[in-house]
Chain A
Amino acid sequence: MQDGQIADARALGSHQLLASEPLLVLAGISKEFPGVKALSGVSFDLRRGEVHAVCGENGAGKSTLMKIISGIYAANDGRMTYKGLERRFSSPLEAEAAGIAIIHQELNLVPHLSVAENIYLAREPRRGFLVDRKSLKADAKRCLDRLGVAIDPDRLVRGLSVAQCQMVEIAKALSLEAEVLIMDEPTSSLTEQETQLLFAVIRDLKAAGVGIVYISHRLDEMAEIVDRVTILRDGRHVSTGDFAATSIDEIVARMVGRSLDEKFPERTSRPSDEVILSVRGLARKGVFSDVSFDLRRGEILGFAGLMGAGRTEVARAIFGAETPDTGQIILEGRELAISSPRDAIAAGIAYLSEDRKGQGLALKMPVDANLTLANMEAVSNRFGLIDFARQDEVARRYVDLLNVRTPSIRQPVRLLSGGNQQKIIIGKWLFRESRLLFFDEPTRGIDVGAKFAIYRIMDELAAQGIGVILISSELPEILGMTDRVAVFHQGRITGVLETAGTDQEEIMRYASGYGRAGS
């Protein structure tokens, strides 16, 4: 029955549907994860032979929507009509069989298999029990030729460039005879030249009637290929319209357009003229380059930018978790030579990872052990034995100071809520008496009350003369908490703005590589 339906749909699709009739229509799609409403009542449609861009900030729901279309997630509510029939895919395989292919941001190829084997993975042409290697190669070659790319189907994927992998993924989509192709940030790791090659392929696919959903943060390059654009914000549909009739400024304004309804504490610290941290010409090949900025005493400096712009990498380089190729780091007048987090910690630098559970906490260990982990010398004697009375006292002090909600200081931290876990990490660095703290996405996944408490701690630290750098993808947070903002775009600081004199639109323009053009 299933097969019959698909065959019917294909027949309908190729011969009877009018070109203007949408290929894919989603209406009122909602998706909830425990505690989060990722999408609420989103509508979307895709026509044959068009490139339809989906724009939104990080966390706006773009990826969730794509995963629903391609059968990875099931929607809680809403209807999807594909080629005139209502469909609900229960797995990516089902969606693929119906002609919907997705190319993920992180490419899904098997490095140790050949190009041809990757294109036909799990669908290998067979002769009895054996793979029919001859037709495997011939079929793969035909797909690659159609794209006009010269990749040997026998080469191992391991040796290919990212752009070539991208092409192999597209060839795989073609081999599925996909009629809907979803591309998630396809150009994020491509050079200008490779991007042009990809765009040429996209134009060919368009001409062949394939509908393409195109997700990207790179507004600058969309004008070349995008026909229509849909904007999502906080899991809701904002607008859909012709790309040509919408200006970049309008798109940005709609993406960030929410009002500043989150509450921030009043800032008590005032920036002085004294520079605590000075970074000059910091670079790491292929990651970031020529990063220079100053942090003044009493100031909170923001790092804004899109995902992958290099903000976290710069912080990790200053913290010694990654080694920069060149550059100077001067903390309180002293040039530092940092080659490991141990050096950075000894110099008074602390880094609160964006990945709390993965890099911030020893989850199986209790509250007291986590609070003291970065400063064991202070709770042990000269024989390296832990002074438990002192450790208890320290743990209680920071649990009280930061108002951590835990039944006991012996509670394993994995049982605490996200906000309380974040407070434990902050406490760990406060006990270390750090001179400079990087907060990397400190409020991600934390409830409003705990957010406010963390903002207040940041303000108090700045007021005490401790350097605070806030890395955040939440623009309201950047605007609400910082004194100045360094905006990153593709590994460079494109501008350092006074927070009081800027707005979300201007920051987004710098973050998209548009710089001053719009202002």
Chain B
Amino acid sequence: MSVTTNPGGKSGRLSDRQKDVIQKFAALGSLFALVAIFSLTSNAFFTVGNGMTVALQVTSIALLGIGATCVIITGGIDLSVGSVLALAGVVAALCVKELGLPVWGGMLIGILTGSACGLVNGILVTRMRLPPFIATLGMMLIARGVALQITGARAISGLGESFGVLGNGALFRVVRIGEDGFPTVVFPGIPYPVILMIAIALAVSFMLNRSVLGRHIYAVGSNVDAARLSGVDVARTVNFTYVLSGTLAGLTGCVLMSRLVTAQPNEGVMYELDAIASAVIGGTSLIGGVGSISGTAIGAFVIGILRNGLNMNGVSAFTQQIIIGLVILLTVWIDQLRNRR
């Protein structure tokens, strides 16, 4: 004990504030570390083009992660988003192809399908008092089943070019036609899905931090009894988070199907786990009451960059899973250390 001198004797224990800062920077720091390492190991990694590719790949994880974060803050969980996004995308495609609706109309119906699934989840949890894990597990199977049923398990293609605009279009894309007549891409532009992701992240973050609803979401997750006894409408608050999660799943489904210009009923398998992982890496507590959209965004980028960087370095898909699994365990372990006092 007396080997080292320790003036003040305080340096052994960090204050909560310091621990919070460390946690935030741990995730952000590891993100920068990943970028640095992959830039060194692969020339193609740190380029504008690849940056946009990563951002595009991250959008689906991030959009689902934003919904998952809100649900998890209330102390719940949503396992159904992977299936719901498939159902929503398939519904959108069928509306366009079979019913002849315009693309925006079909996609709106697709997104609303996601909202409806979320509403059912919310009612199962609040009214019928099913554990969120069970309620959304049931929805996960049902939504996937319906998606396969209505498509006959076949992909829907031939949707027309306009169906692909949402997923493949980009803003500020600069293309110069060279003297040889071939176009050169000067700037690939900011893909629409990335713009969508940023806008929604800002909006939900604003909702959580600035609105009464957001305050209620944290209060329910922090102490559901205290919230109820303070007059918070717990059922409505919890319901909202599931509807939000379902809606974002619906939107993700439309974006993904649009990118492929094909609706796949098998799309999005296990995406719910990526969404939950991104929230958890970003410091959202599965016990509820703690979490932020900025953290989830960092978490989504950690997963996306890991995948992209490992791909570029020729690491096999199997090894990638192992590495991402280890990253999740490591970050949650750090979180546990932080909460142990």
Which A residues are within 8 Å of any B CB, using their own CB? 319, 321, 341-342, 345-346, 351, 353, 358-365, 369, 373-374, 376-377, 380, 384-386, 388, 412, 415, 428
- How far does the Cβ of B237 sit from chain A's closest Cβ, in whole Å? 12
Asked if B219 and A365 sit within 8 Å, CB to CB, the answer is yes
Query: Which one of A358, A365, A377, A388 contacts B225 once the chains associate, using CB atoms below 8 Å?
Result: A358
| A365-B218, A365-B219, A374-B231 known; A360-B226 Cβ under 8 A | yes
Does B232 sit within 8 A of A, measured CB to CB? Answer: yes
In chain B, residues 182-238, which have Cβ atoms closer than 8 Å to a Cβ of chain A? Answer: 210-213, 215-216, 218-219, 222-223, 225-233
Enumerate chain B residues within 8 angstroms of A360, measured Cβ to Cβ. 226, 229
| A362-B218, A364-B222, A386-B212 known; A373-B230 Cβ under 8 A | yes
A346, A361, A364, A412 pick with most chain B CB within 10 angstroms: A364
Enumerate chain A residues within 8 angstroms of B226, measured Cβ to Cβ. 358-362, 373
Does B167 sit within 8 A of A, measured CB to CB? Answer: no
Enumerate chain A residues within 8 angstroms of B215, measured Cβ to Cβ. 369, 373, 376, 386
Enumerate chain A residues within 8 angstroms of B218, measured Cβ to Cβ. 362, 364-365, 369
In chain B, residues 35-79, which have Cβ atoms closer than 8 Å to a Cβ of chain A? Answer: none
Enumerate chain B residues within 8 angstroms of A361, measured Cβ to Cβ. 223, 226
Asked if A362 and B228 sit within 8 Å, CB to CB, the answer is no
Which B residues are within 8 Å of any A CB, using their own CB? 16, 210-213, 215-216, 218-219, 222-223, 225-233, 289-290
Enumerate chain A residues within 8 angstroms of B231, measured Cβ to Cβ. 341-342, 345-346, 374
* Alpha-carbon gap, A362 to B217, bound state (A): 11
Enumerate chain B residues within 8 angstroms of A351, measured Cβ to Cβ. 229
Asked if A374 and B230 sit within 8 Å, CB to CB, the answer is yes
Closest A residue to B227 by beta carbon equals A362
Enumerate chain B residues within 8 angstroms of A380, measured Cβ to Cβ. 211-212
Query: Which one of B16, B212, B223 contacts A362 once the chains associate, using CB atoms below 8 Å?
Result: B223
Query: Which one of A342, A345, A373 contacts B219 once the chains associate, using CB atoms below 8 Å?
Result: A373
Closest A residue to B285 by beta carbon equals A364
- How far does the Cβ of B17 sit from chain A's closest Cβ, in whole Å? 10
A358, A377, A385 pick with most chain B CB within 10 angstroms: A385
| A369-B219, A373-B227 known; A362-B289 Cβ under 8 A | yes
Closest B residue to A375 by beta carbon equals B231
Asked if A412 and B16 sit within 8 Å, CB to CB, the answer is yes
- How far does the Cβ of A406 sit from chain B's closest Cβ, in whole Å? 14
Enumerate chain B residues within 8 angstroms of A415, measured Cβ to Cβ. 16
Asked if A373 and B232 sit within 8 Å, CB to CB, the answer is yes
Enumerate chain A residues within 8 angstroms of B228, measured Cβ to Cβ. 321, 341
- How far does the Cβ of B304 sit from chain A's closest Cβ, in whole Å? 29
Enumerate chain A residues within 8 angstroms of B16, measured Cβ to Cβ. 412, 415
- How far does the Cβ of A497 sit from chain B's closest Cβ, in whole Å? 30
Asked if B227 and A384 sit within 8 Å, CB to CB, the answer is no
| A362-B227, A363-B223 known; A342-B212 Cβ under 8 A | no
- How far does the Cβ of B10 sit from chain A's closest Cβ, in whole Å? 16
Closest A residue to B290 by beta carbon equals A364
Enumerate chain B residues within 8 angstroms of A319, measured Cβ to Cβ. 229
Enumerate chain B residues within 8 angstroms of A359, measured Cβ to Cβ. 223, 225-226, 229
Enumerate chain B residues within 8 angstroms of A384, measured Cβ to Cβ. 211-213
* Alpha-carbon gap, A360 to B16, bound state (A): 22
* Alpha-carbon gap, A365 to B218, bound state (A): 8
Closest A residue to B219 by beta carbon equals A362
Beyond the given pairs A362-B227, A428-B230, 18 more chain A to chain B contacts, judged by CB atoms under 8 angstroms and listed by A's residue number, are A319-B229, A321-B229, A341-B228, A341-B230, A342-B233, A345-B231, A359-B226, A359-B229, A360-B229, A364-B222, A365-B289, A369-B218, A374-B230, A374-B231, A376-B216, A386-B212, A388-B210, A415-B16
Closest B residue to A346 by beta carbon equals B231
Closest B residue to A388 by beta carbon equals B210
* Alpha-carbon gap, A412 to B216, bound state (A): 16
Enumerate chain A residues within 8 angstroms of B213, measured Cβ to Cβ. 384
Listed by A's residue number, 20 A-B pairs whose Cβ atoms lie within 8 Å are A341-B230, A342-B231, A342-B233, A358-B225, A359-B223, A361-B226, A362-B218, A362-B219, A362-B289, A364-B222, A364-B290, A373-B219, A373-B227, A374-B230, A374-B231, A380-B211, A380-B212, A386-B212, A386-B215, A415-B16
Enumerate chain B residues within 8 angstroms of A342, measured Cβ to Cβ. 231, 233
Enumerate chain B residues within 8 angstroms of A385, measured Cβ to Cβ. 210-212
Enumerate chain A residues within 8 angstroms of B222, measured Cβ to Cβ. 362-365
